Amino acid sequence: MKVPAGKLMINKILKKLWIYLIVDLIAKLLLVVEKNAILVIYDRLSKIVYSVVTMEETSVKGLARLFRDI
């Protein structure tokens, strides 16, 4: 039994930079200069993308530091 779709909703209008982010970790890459992963941070409003090279084994604290330091 299919559930009917709800009413269409208007997307939120983004108003502030660095509030609506998409963050992803691309891992299991080839090892280059002792790094094998990329932390990708994307701001939806400004469309700015930051890519930070890191290790797949980086701790959560380490990823938070990388995120803070960009």
Q: What is the pLDDT of residue 1?
A: 66
- Return d(Cα 10, Cα 7) in angstroms, integer: 10
Give the start-to-end residue ranges of the domains of the chain. 21-68
CB 65 within 8 A of CB 55: no
Q: Please write the tens of the pLDDT for every residue from 6-46.
A: 888 887 888 899 888 999 999 999 998 899 999 999 999 99
Q: Which of 62, 65, 63, 61 is nearest to 25 (CA)?
A: 63
Q: Name which residue leads in pLDDT, 55 or 4.
A: 55
Residue type, 23: V
Mean pLDDT confidence for 60-70: 90
- Return d(Cα 37, Cα 56) in angstroms, integer: 5
